[in-house]
Amino acid sequence: MNRSRVAPLCDLLAAALLALPVALPGGVFDFKVREDVPADQRLFIGSELAEMGAGDALKSVAMYECGDDLWCISFDLPDGSEFTPSLYLRPRDWKLFSDQDSVELVRQLDPISAESTAHSRTLSLHIDGECESLTVTVSGEKPTVTPSEDSTEGGWQTFQIQLPLGTDSMAVACDERQLFADALIHPDAEELWISDGEAYRYRPAATHERPRFESFTFAPGAFLSRPVTVMLPRNYDLNIKKTYPVLYAMDGQNVFVPGGPFGTWAIDTAAEALTNRGDIPEIIIVAVGNTSDRIPEYAPEFITRNNARGRAGEFLTMLRDELKPYIDERYRTKSEAESTGFIGSSMGGLIGFYAAHEFRDTFGNVAALSSAFWLAPDEFEKLAERSPKRRARVWLDSGHTGRSADDATNTLMIRDTMLRSGESLGPHFTHTIGLNHQHNESAWSERVPDILRWMF
């Protein structure tokens, strides 16, 4: 994909002169809009694209102030993206954020399309067992399906499907028998294997096994011992040569069902469901339990709470030098940073955001949920000012209800600072506000599926 910035669009939008559709190469779209916005409101942009709210004004994306009456935002969009942007005024008061009546349409801009050299892509779909007639449906349309002349050995039937560019889901039926109502497809997937009602990105073994769990007590020298639970994906013991990406999850007692006293993120349930639909690859999940020293362990060194100085740097060093090597040796992992994820919420979000900057060579993909930036907003803003080249991929989010509105204001401030530093909303950095979400496990579990899709 061409990653060059699309400068002409800035000038067109600033002058509100999008009278005709604008053909642009795929890459980063820099929006700059001149608008007189009341002090108690903020300008948002939305469209039919998922990155811009999927047509829901309540999920439109906040722009940031970049000059006198100037509002900016950048999106890193795939080739072939077509959309019609709309501008909205929405209140800064988080109590009104989910109120449809508080959203005011300013104007709709002319359609925009990103040029692409291709308009479709070919997906090889392999069906386990006999299938004389395969029907595929994408957004109500039926793309061309061609049976392969040579059947795959082992009883697989192979079909070539011409999918419209940008397709991420499809319904699949074989001989009028529905195999998938909504099989999800990664944009880069070239092959998909369907067996026993589950989707794979590789040819699966003849038999199938469900995910399983292993637990042990981890006792690092400089920290309290803690429980660690590892979720191994389906068919782990059958695919003895296959290696897997790894996700390290903080507050491990709350990660898997049934969870702890505060509830559960249900990451195991989400990961299994997404894997079975072919939406994400199989992953190993390492749930690292917390201890009574949770706050100093997760707090960076520039934070002091209850006379205890933060030890996040030491804690992450321990994960890198002690726990991760143990996991990599004991299990078949993809050990490189681009295949290693980190997820945490609240204080766990803080250490995650810190890890994205200070330990990006270890954890290449970080999800920081409902981070407690209020503890040291100025210090975290300094991290956010760094160049995108000096941080890992980052998912940043919050809710907006409950006590302190889930620190949505500071989280949005951090997001705006990252955008000003050169980030764009897209594969490398994304931000979302959970509608009516509070600061709890139930809200985080609702956001987990989208996080896993983005991360893997």
CA distance 242 to 184: 22
Residues of the chain with CATH 2.60.40.10: 5-115
Q: Is 287 exposed, middle or buried (0-12, 13-18, 19+ CB in 10 A)?
A: buried
How do residues 117-134 score in pLDDT, each as one tens digit?
556 788 888 888 888 888
Q: Point out the least confidently predicted range of 19-23, 333-337, 339-343, 390-394.
A: 19-23
pLDDT at 19: 31
pLDDT exceeds cutoff 60 at 136: yes
Buried b / exposed e along 221-248 (16+ C-beta atoms within 10 A): eebeebebbbbbbbbbeebeeeebbbbb
How do residues 215-225 score in pLDDT, each as one tens digit?
999 999 899 99
Please give the model's pTM, rounded to 2 decimal places: 0.88
Which of 231, 323, 238 has the alpha carbon at shortest distance from 268? Answer: 231
DSSP label at residue 321 = I
The tokens for 130 are 């006999």
pLDDT exceeds cutoff 90 at 385: yes
CA distance 425 to 81: 14
Q: Point out the least confidently predicted range of 81-85, 334-338, 417-421.
A: 81-85
What is 212-455's CATH topology?
Rossmann fold (3.40.50)
Q: What's 209-245 look like in SS3? A: CCCEEEEEEECCCCCCCEEEEEEECCCCCCCCCCCEC
Residues with Cβ within 8 Å of residue 21, at least 6 apart in sequence: 110, 111, 112, 113
Q: How far is CA 304 from the centre of its chain?
A: 31
pLDDT at 119: 65
Strands (DSSP E) found in 346-392: 365-369
pLDDT exceeds cutoff 90 at 264: yes
**Share of residues in the chain with pLDDT > 70 (%):** 90
Which of 426, 369, 416 has the alpha carbon at shortest distance from 72? Answer: 416
The tokens for 185 are 């497809």
120-200: which CATH architecture? Sandwich (2.60)
Q: Considering just the CA atoms, what is the radius of gyration of the chain in Å?
A: 23
Half-sphere exposure of 144 (CA within 13 A, CB side): 8
CA distance 62 to 52: 10
Which of 95, 37, 25 has the alpha carbon at shortest distance from 66? Answer: 37
What is 5-115's CATH topology?
Immunoglobulin-like (2.60.40)
Q: Point out the least confidently predicted range of 12-16, 210-214, 379-383.
A: 12-16
How do residues 150-199 score in pLDDT, each as one tens digit?
666 667 889 998 887 767 778 888 887 888 777 666 666 788 888 887 88
Q: Point out the least confidently predicted range of 40-54, 166-180, 246-260.
A: 166-180
Residues of the chain with CATH 3.40.50.1820: 212-455
CA distance 75 to 17: 20
